[in-house]
Amino acid sequence: MQIRPGSMYPLGSTFDGAGVNFALYSSAATRVELCLFDDNNRETRIEITECNTFVWHVYIVGIQPGQRYGYRVYGAYDPDSGLRCDPSKLLLDPYAKAIEGMIDSDASLFSYDITKPDDPDARNTEDSAAHTMKSVVINPFFDWGNDRHPQIAYHDSVIYEAHVRGMTNLNEEVPPEIRGTYAGLAHPSVVKYLKDLGITALELMPVHQFINDSFLQAKGLSNYWGYNTIGFFAPHNAYSSSGQRGEQVNEFKSMVRAYHDAGIEIILDVVYNHTAEGNNMGPTLSFKGIDNRSYYRLVDGNERHYFDTTGTGNSLLMRSPHTLQLIMDSLRYWVSEMHVDGFRFDLAATLARQFSEVDKLSAFFDIIQQDPVISHVKLIAEPWDIGSGGYQVGGFPPLWSEWNGMYRDTVRDFWRSQPSKLPEFASRIMGSSDLYRADGRRPVASINFITAHDGFTMNDLVSYNDKHNEANGEDNRDGDNNNRSWNCGVEGPTDVTDVNELRAQQMRNFISTMMVSQGIPMLDGGDEIMRTQQGNNNAYCQDNPISWTHWDLDERRQQLHDFTQKMIHLRLRHPVLHRRKFFDAEAEGNNAPQVEWFDHTGSVMDQEDWDNTNALTLMVFLNGHAIPEADVNGNQIKDNDFILIFNAYYEPMMFRLPGEKYGRKWRLLVDTHDQFSPELAFEANFGIMAQARSFMLLVSDEGDISGTTHQVQEIKVIEKPQDDQDNSSAPDTGAETSSPTEQAEGSEK
495 — pLDDT class (breaks 50, 70, 90): very high
The DSSP 8-state label assigned to residue 643 in this structure reads E
Mean pLDDT, rounded, for 293-307? 96
What is the pLDDT, as a whole number, of residue 274? 97
**156 annotated active-site:** no
Q: Is 376 exposed, middle or buried (0-12, 13-18, 19+ CB in 10 A)?
A: middle
pLDDT at 747 over 70: no
Share of the chain above pLDDT 70, in %: 94
Residue 447 · residue 403 · CB < 8 Å: yes
- Distant-in-sequence, close-in-space partners of 323: CB < 8 Å, separation ≥ 6: 294, 295, 316, 317
- 110, amino acid identity: F
Average pLDDT in the chain: 92
Closest CA to 446 of 341, 517, 357, 535: 517
708 — pLDDT class (breaks 50, 70, 90): very low
Please count the other Cβ atoms lying within 10 Å of the Cβ belonging to residue 392: 18
Mean pLDDT lowest for which of 252-261, 512-521, 563-572, 703-712? 703-712
**346 annotated active-site:** yes
Q: Where are the beta strands (DSSP E) in 42-143?
A: 43-48, 50-52, 55-61, 68-75, 77-78, 83-84, 98-100, 134-136
Q: Quick one: how far is CA 566 from the chain centroid?
A: 23
pLDDT at 476 over 70: yes
Residue 127 · residue 57 · CB < 8 Å: no
Spell out the alpha helix ranges (H) of 124-179: 164-168
- Segment 92-112, tens digit of pLDDT: 999 999 999 999 989 999 999
pLDDT at 255 over 90: yes
Spell out the alpha helix ranges (H) of 456-496: 458-461
pLDDT at 477 over 90: yes
d(CA 94, CA 545): 33
- Segment 415-464, tens digit of pLDDT: 999 987 899 999 999 999 999 999 999 999 999 999 999 999 999 999 99
- Segment 66-75, tens digit of pLDDT: 999 999 999 9
pLDDT at 634 over 90: no
Mean pLDDT lowest for which of 185-199, 387-401, 494-508? 387-401
- Our CA angle for 204, 209, 210, nearest 5°, is 95
591 — pLDDT class (breaks 50, 70, 90): confident
d(CA 461, CA 408): 12
pLDDT at 710 over 50: no
Q: Note the residue count of the chain.
A: 749
Question: Could you tell me if residue 590 is left (phi over 0), alpha (psi between -120 and 50 degrees) or otherwise beta?
Answer: left
| Most confident region among 178-192, 344-358, 617-631 by mean pLDDT | 178-192
- Segment 212-232, tens digit of pLDDT: 988 898 899 999 999 999 999
What is the pLDDT, as a whole number, of residue 589? 79
705 — pLDDT class (breaks 50, 70, 90): low
Helix axes 422-429, 405-415, angle to 10 degrees: 120
pLDDT at 726 over 80: no
Share of the chain above pLDDT 90, in %: 85
703 — pLDDT class (breaks 50, 70, 90): low
pLDDT at 483 over 50: yes
354 — pLDDT class (breaks 50, 70, 90): confident
d(CA 209, CA 234): 6
Mean pLDDT, rounded, for 369-373? 95
Mean pLDDT, rounded, for 485-501? 98
Mean pLDDT, rounded, for 39-54? 97
Beta bridge pairs of residue 683: 665
Mean pLDDT lowest for which of 9-13, 137-141, 483-487, 727-731? 727-731
Closest CA to 208 of 146, 275, 158, 149: 275
> Which member of 265, 346, 385, 528 is catalytic?
346
Q: Could you give the C-alpha distances from 743 to 494, 505, 569, 651, 696, in angstroms and in order?
A: 17, 15, 34, 10, 22
The DSSP 8-state label assigned to residue 630 in this structure reads B
d(CA 609, CA 421): 10
Q: Could you give the C-alpha distances from 259 to 125, 158, 363, in angstroms and in order?
A: 47, 14, 33
d(CA 209, CA 248): 11
What is the pLDDT, as a whole number, of residue 82? 97
277 — pLDDT class (breaks 50, 70, 90): very high
d(CA 92, CA 33): 12
> Which member of 382, 402, 527, 641 is catalytic?
382
The DSSP 8-state label assigned to residue 532 in this structure reads -
Domains of the chain in start order, with CATH, are 2-137 (2.60.40.10), 155-575 (3.20.20.80), 584-700 (2.60.40.1180)
pTM for the model stands at: 0.93
d(CA 675, CA 567): 11
Mean pLDDT, rounded, for 701-716? 45
First to last CA, the chain: 82
